[in-house]
Structure 1
Amino acid sequence: MSMVSSGPADRGADKIRVLVADDHITVLEGLAAIIGRQPDMAVVGEAANGREAVEQWLALRPDVAMLDMRMPVLDGVGALEEIRRHDAAARVIMLTTFDTDTDIASAIKAGAKGYLLKDAPRDDLLAAIRCVHAGETSITASLLTKLANGISSETLTGRELDVLALLAQGKSNREIGANLFISETTVKSHLRSIFTKLNVLSRTEAVTVANRRGLVHL
C-alpha cells in the first residue's frame, strides 16, 4: 500500500508524523481519518501487513508507528522487533482487539511504548500517540493490572500446559493421561499444581482463566 500523500505543511516539524498498519482496510482508513483530522498530527504512511510496516518505517522514519498485533506476512510484534533492530528508540504503539496477559507481555517485551485496544475511545487513541511521541509510555491502568497479575503468577511448566490444553478440549483425566502417556494420578497432580498457579478452584475456572491469559485458545 503506498504512502499517503501529504502537503508540505503536513510534514512540518510541528506535526507528529504517524505510520498506521492494519490488515483490515476499514480499520486502517478509520484510524487514518481520525489521526489526519488532528491539527498536530499527519498520517505519512499506511501498511496492510507487518512486512509493509517495516519497509515503510525504514523509508519514512515516522515519529510514531501504530501497529496491529495480528497481521499477515509478519505480525505486529515481529514488525516491532525488526524496527527496533534498526532503531532501539523507535516509538511504537501496539493496537489490538485482544487483551490477554501474553499479548500484552510480548508487546512490552518487544519494546512497545504503548498498548491500546481497538475499541478504545478516540480521545484515548489520540492521547496515546501524543504521550508516546513525548517519550512516555502509554498503557491503561486496567491493562497494567492485567499484566502485573500475569507476571506475578507462577509460570506453568510445559507438561502443565499440555494438560491444560487437553483440559480445554473437554478431556477427562483418563483421556488426558492416555494422550500424554501418564497415569491418572499424575494428571491429578498436574491439575492441583495448575489450579494453585492460576489461583482457581475448578476445571471450568482454570480453562476460563487460561483462555483470558492467552495460555489456551478456545
Structure 2
Amino acid sequence: MTARIRIVLADDQAIIRDGLETVLNLVEDFEVVGTAADGAEAVALIAAERPDVALMDLRMPVLDGASATRRVSVETPGTAVLVLTTFADDADIVAALRAGARGYLTKDAGRAELATAIRAVAAGQSTFSAPVRDVLLGRIGAPDQAPNAAGLDAAASPATESAATAATEPDADPASAEALAVRFPALTAREREVYALILQGRSNGEIAQTLYVGVATVKTHVNALFAKLGVRDRAQAISKGLGRA
C-alpha cells in the first residue's frame, strides 16, 4: 500500500478549512493531520506534525502566509508549502516564492488540479496554476525587467550580441533561451534551453521529451543551472527569473 501524503491546512476561514479537509480525506493517498486558523498556529502545528505538505493561505491574522512559509522553510524544511489563496497578483506570488513556497494555486482550482499539485510538491517538484504562470511570465517580460542591449560590453561576442537583439525585439519571448543568454550569460546553451522550459512550468519528464534526451540528463542540467543561479529548487529558479530575487 502506498504511503499517504500527510497534509496540514492553514486558512483563516473555517468553511474553507472544513471543506478542504473533507475533500482531501476522500482521496486515498491523502491524510489531513491538522488544520490551523492563522499563520502562527500553522507554523507550530507543522513543527509538531511534520507533514509532507502544508496548504497555506496568504491573508491570515497573527502571521501572514508568506511569513509563515518563510518560517516553515527554515524550521521544518521537510514540509513543502503549497500556497492556496484567492489572490494571484504579482506581489503576492513573488513574496510566496521568495519565502520558499514550492507551488501556488488559486482557490478556483478544481479538485483534480489541487490533488495533482499536492502530489507534485510532495515529490519535490514545483507547480503553478495557469493564471499564476501567466503572471510570472508577465513579470519576466515587464519593461523594467527587459535587458538593455545598449548597456552590454562593447566587446561582447557575436552570439551574445545576437541574443541581445532577439531579447529586445518587440515580439521576442522574454523567457526564451535567447533572452536568457543575455540575462544569465554563465549558463550554457543547453542549460538556457532547460531553464526556459522550467519557466514554462515543465517537469523534468516533459523537458526530456521536448529536448529528446533522458530524464537523468535533464536532472544534470537542472542541478548545474541551479548551482550557477545560486538557487535550491524550481520555485527559487522561477523567482530568479523574475529578476527580483
Q: Does TM-score exceed 0.5, indicating one fold?
A: yes
- Are residue 69 (structure 1) and residue 68 (structure 2) matched? no
- Are residue 39 (structure 1) and residue 28 (structure 2) matched? yes
Partner of 1:55: 44
Partner of 1:15: 4
8 Å contact kept, 2:11–2:57: yes
Deviation, 1:124, is: 0.8
Q: 2:78 & 2:7 partners in 1: Cα distance?
A: 15
Residues 47, 149 of structure 1: alpha-carbon distance in 2 compared, 3 angstrom cutoff: same
Partner of 1:149: 138
Q: 1:90 & 1:17 partners in 2: Cα distance?
A: 10
Partner of 2:234: none
Q: 1:135 & 1:143 partners in 2: Cα distance?
A: 19
What are the superposed Cα offsets for residues 75-103 of structure 1, whole Å, 9 maximum, x if unpaired? Answer: 10010011111134530001111110111
Instruction: Give structure 2 stretches of 5+ with no counterpart.
Output: 146-245
Which residue identity lines up with residue 152 of structure 1 in the other structure?
G
8 Å contact kept, 2:47–2:76: no
Residue identity (%): 42
Q: TM-score, normalised by structure 2?
A: 0.56
Partner of 1:169: none
What are the superposed Cα offsets for residues 133-158 of structure 1, whole Å, 9 maximum, x if unpaired? Answer: 111111023311211212432459xx
Q: Calculate the aligned-residue CA RMSD, in Å.
A: 1.8
- Are residue 133 (structure 1) and residue 122 (structure 2) matched? yes
1:93 match: secondary structure = strand
- Are residue 110 (structure 1) and residue 94 (structure 2) matched? no
Runs of 4+ aligned structure 1 residues displaced above 4 Å come to none
What are the superposed Cα offsets for residues 99-145 of structure 1, whole Å, 9 maximum, x if unpaired? Answer: 10111111111111110111111111111111111111110233112
Alignment coverage as a number of residue pairs: 145
Partner of 1:205: none
What are the superposed Cα offsets for residues 8-65 of structure 1, whole Å, 9 maximum, x if unpaired? Answer: xxxx971100000100000000010111111101000100000000000000000000
1:23 match: secondary structure = coil
Partner of 1:92: 81
Q: 2:73 & 2:16 partners in 1: Cα distance?
A: 25
Instruction: Give structure 1 stretches of 5+ with no counterpart.
Output: 1-11, 157-218
8 Å contact kept, 2:56–2:82: yes
Q: TM-score, normalised by structure 1?
A: 0.63
Which residue identity lines up with residue 49 of structure 1 in the other structure?
D
